[in-house]
Structure 1
Amino acid sequence: MPRPGALADDDLRRLPIAAQLLQRPRQLSVPDLVSHLGGVQAQVLSAAGLALRARTEGLREPGVGRARLIDRSVVLNWAMRGTLHLVAAQDHGWLVPLVIEARVSNAYRRLQQEGVPAGQATDAVRLIAQMLEREGPLTRRQIAERLGTRGVRVEGQAIAHLVWLAAAQGVVCHGPARGPDQCFVLVRDWIGEPERMDRDAALAELAVRYLQAHQPAGPRDLAHWSGLSQADANRAWRLAQGRLVELETARGTSWALRAGVVEAAGGLVRLLPSFDEYLLGWRDRDIAVPAEHRTRVNRGGGWLHPVVLFDGRAVATWSTQRTPRARRVVVRPFSELDPTVHAGVVEEARDLSRFLGLTVEAVF
């Protein structure tokens, strides 16, 4: 039984809503929003844009592309958990190396399995940097062709791991598209020389940045979200301890920033996309996705369906269908929906229409 005064489950849903900016407290730029969240998962780039839409007023889809490709204030690269994220350009230099370093040895091991020895992989990263400096943006296929002429094995999955390794070592990031293909660029050419931090300073900053968007939470949540080892997550927590405060909750001890926590009002409705941070950002999300509906949201293989969020809890999944005249938001409820949810989804569909520049209608 929780102690008197402990935060109840309703609090544990509404506090993260506020931390995640899902109540849209103010209009934020794309880089400010991405920096607040620490990063936005972007293995499906359109879903990353929808995640940003859910958290600020006035943003339109072209604004996300402009921030990445014109202003270059956000960067697309592999980051937390080794997956593609949008990361604020000002954070890239300290954040990406910190969260990716534990996976670098695995990349070398996979390359060894593909027939690329460690020494050749290191040489390949240097060659990739040289060709991008000389020629500018190149697709993965073009990089493979050039490495192949230098005797580097690029068959099978080798080229994918070599490009990933170059990104993990802070050399390259994703740049513009060339037709259907993604180009890669030198980080220093794309956003300038990135800001670095010593490792302990970066760990402390990561803990604070994580809590800023995920409070209340604990070091196990940080390890889950970031991909850090548990030992590193615990160290990050200790280094940031002076800026944290302990909270007693119905589910045990948790932490928030000493600067204070804000609880969102009840009744909020949001259409959250695949891989949304509200579902990915903690080790255990039973509080947001009831256990009996977990398989409807998480279909396995790390794939999360878009959900309708009501008062911090997933109450339906949704998908889009294209028609000759419009795009439909098709809602699949877990049970009969409250009228408040119906009204909220219709309002969210209107906002999607504004964001996408298309007619969007909700279908229940």
Structure 2
Amino acid sequence: MTTLSPRAINRATLARQLLLERSDLSATEAVGQLVGMQGQEPKHPFVGLWSRLAWFGEGDLIAAIEDRKVVRATLFRGTLHLVTADDYLRFRTTLSPVLEAGLKLLGDRAAGLEPDKVAAAARQLLAVEPLTFTEVRDALQQQFPDVNDRALGFCTRMLVPLVISPSETRWGWTANARFTPAEQWIGGKLRRSAVPKELVVRYLEAFGPATPADFQTWSGLQKAKALFDSLELEVFTDEHGKNLYDVPGAPRPDADSEAPVRFLPEFDNLLLAHAKRERIIAGEHRQAVFTKNLRVKSTYLVDGLVAGLWTAEKKRGVATLTLTPFGRTTKKTAAELEREGEALLRFLEPDAKTYEVVTAS
């Protein structure tokens, strides 16, 4: 059985994540290749695609959203993701157990909650018109006055297939956006039967080679080992003898392949898709990236690994990208970061008068 070095695993994952070289895929095709992008906040997937696609402009993704080819909805792990409309219809039923299990997080707030009745009432409300979740909670509270209003809203989010209605704003959605029934918005029907084997294959195509535990971390689905065993997959081992599974013929570039510097947004799926994340971030740096309040900071990659944090702001017409490196930065890498960083700033702040890339002291 072939053993893959840490560097070989890293390069294989980066290739599938479109981070070894920028791709000519369309925005919709790229979102499909990545099997969705974490989308707690609207801007982040735009930055993620900018780092992965050649000639990407925000209008490319906005057009896909307006054409209803890409949607923003609650999906993997019960969190907001940007996914293709086809993938949402395909996999929403497969992920239903994860979303239903999410109700356990309510704890004592679930007192008196009857999920099926609440979901049915929410469907009736949202079939009439798109609503914000504040409006959903207020309306449901009138029907279920003895139930916690947050529990009513959370139940709706987990059990009712909804997408977020886009708006005419820069990153596609307002902070207090309206939700609408997914089938109604997309114009298609959810697949009624689960297809977990398909989801495993798609996961490996985007994040492999990987383990069943990695798939569980990414999807939220449990007991994945049996799924992996039922598929015809290639099996490798890592340096510790752990089995890694992969799709036959999937890209596995040479371990010495060059990995250019890349900037990743907050919550990028590359940092969230594996149980053990050493393939992309060293253990000693995790605490600086993953915060106690469950944020995942914006990072940059050097030679394929997380090497520091970045923030961007614009004041008085000056757009500034501030780098916080985790270690020493060579002159060559610093020059690459400055070039790539200024290009990112021009994407984020096209109206700025000047652009600066600085390193935090």
Scaled to the shorter chain, the TM-score interval is: 0.7 to 0.9
Q: What is the CA deviation profile of residues 189-218 of structure 1, one whole-angstrom value per residue up to 9, with x for unaligned ones?
A: 21012341632xx11111110000112111
* Residue equivalent to 1:83: 79
**1:26–1:117 distance in 2 versus 1, CA, 3 Å:** closer
Query: Are the counterparts in 2 of residues 90 and 194 from structure 1 also a CA contact under 8 Å?
Result: no
Identity, in percent, stands at: 26
Query: Are the counterparts in 2 of residues 76 and 174 from structure 1 also a CA contact under 8 Å?
Result: yes
Question: SS at 1:122's partner residue?
Answer: helix
* Residue equivalent to 1:309: 301
* Residue equivalent to 2:331: 339
Question: SS at 1:271's partner residue?
Answer: strand
* Residue equivalent to 2:63: 66
**More helix as a share of residues:** 1
2:188 maps to a residue whose letter is E
**1:105–1:324 distance in 2 versus 1, CA, 3 Å:** same
1:363 maps to a residue whose letter is V
2:82 maps to a residue whose letter is L
Q: CA deviation at 1:282?
A: 1.0
Which residues of 2 match residues 164-313 of structure 1 at below 5 A? 164-167=157-160, 170=161, 172-177=162-167, 180-196=175-191, 198-199=193-194, 202-229=195-222, 231=223, 233-239=224-230, 241-242=231-232, 244-252=233-241, 253-263=243-253, 265-313=257-305
* Residue equivalent to 2:38: 41
Provide the TM-score with structure 1 as the length reference: 0.87
Query: Are the counterparts in 2 of residues 116 and 152 from structure 1 also a CA contact under 8 Å?
Result: no
**1:267–1:20 distance in 2 versus 1, CA, 3 Å:** closer
Query: Are the counterparts in 2 of residues 203 and 235 from structure 1 also a CA contact under 8 Å?
Result: no
**Alpha-carbon distance in 1 for matches of 2:269, 2:83:** 13
Query: Are the counterparts in 2 of residues 100 and 227 from structure 1 also a CA contact under 8 Å?
Result: no
**1:153–1:189 distance in 2 versus 1, CA, 3 Å:** farther
**Alpha-carbon distance in 1 for matches of 2:184, 2:107:** 27
* Farther off after superposition, 345-354 or 11-20: 345-354
* Residue equivalent to 2:93: 97
**1:250–1:140 distance in 2 versus 1, CA, 3 Å:** same
- Is there any run of 5+ residues in structure 1 with no aligned partner, and where? none
Question: SS at 1:347's partner residue?
Answer: helix
Report whether the alignment pairs 1:131 with 2:125.
Answer: yes
Aligned residues: 348
Question: SS at 1:351's partner residue?
Answer: helix
**Alpha-carbon distance in 1 for matches of 2:181, 2:270:** 32
**1:109–1:318 distance in 2 versus 1, CA, 3 Å:** closer
**1:56–1:93 distance in 2 versus 1, CA, 3 Å:** same
Provide the TM-score with structure 2 as the length reference: 0.88
**Alpha-carbon distance in 2 for matches of 1:22, 1:214:** 12
Query: Are the counterparts in 2 of residues 42 and 84 from structure 1 also a CA contact under 8 Å?
Result: yes
Query: Are the counterparts in 1 of residues 141 and 152 from structure 2 also a CA contact under 8 Å?
Result: no
Q: CA deviation at 1:79?
A: 1.1
- Is there any run of 5+ residues in structure 2 with no aligned partner, and where? 168-172
Question: SS at 1:289's partner residue?
Answer: coil
**1:257–1:358 distance in 2 versus 1, CA, 3 Å:** farther
Query: Are the counterparts in 2 of residues 116 and 158 from structure 1 also a CA contact under 8 Å?
Result: no
- Indicate the RMSD between aligned Cα atoms, in angstroms: 2.4
Report whether the alignment pairs 1:27 with 2:17.
Answer: no
Q: CA deviation at 1:279?
A: 1.3
**1:349–1:162 distance in 2 versus 1, CA, 3 Å:** same
Question: SS at 2:94's partner residue?
Answer: helix
Query: Are the counterparts in 2 of residues 114 and 157 from structure 1 also a CA contact under 8 Å?
Result: no
1:150 maps to a residue whose letter is Q
Match of 2:10 among 10, 13, 23: 13
**Alpha-carbon distance in 2 for matches of 1:103, 1:116:** 19
**1:124–1:100 distance in 2 versus 1, CA, 3 Å:** same
Query: Are the counterparts in 1 of residues 37 and 81 from structure 2 also a CA contact under 8 Å?
Result: yes
Q: CA deviation at 1:109?
A: 7.4
Q: What is the CA deviation profile of residues 83-137 of structure 1, one whole-angstrom value per residue up to 9, with x for unaligned ones?
A: 111111001123223224234144177387344432xx32232222222222x21
Q: CA deviation at 1:179?
A: 6.2
Q: CA deviation at 1:336?
A: 1.5
Match of 2:50 among 53, 59, 63: 53
Question: SS at 1:217's partner residue?
Answer: coil
* Farther off after superposition, 10-19 or 288-297: 288-297
Report whether the alignment pairs 1:144 with 2:137.
Answer: yes
Query: Are the counterparts in 2 of residues 176 and 182 from structure 1 also a CA contact under 8 Å?
Result: yes
Question: SS at 1:237's partner residue?
Answer: helix
Query: Are the counterparts in 1 of residues 132 and 178 from structure 2 also a CA contact under 8 Å?
Result: yes
* Residue equivalent to 2:170: none
**1:131–1:335 distance in 2 versus 1, CA, 3 Å:** same
**Alpha-carbon distance in 2 for matches of 1:283, 1:26:** 27
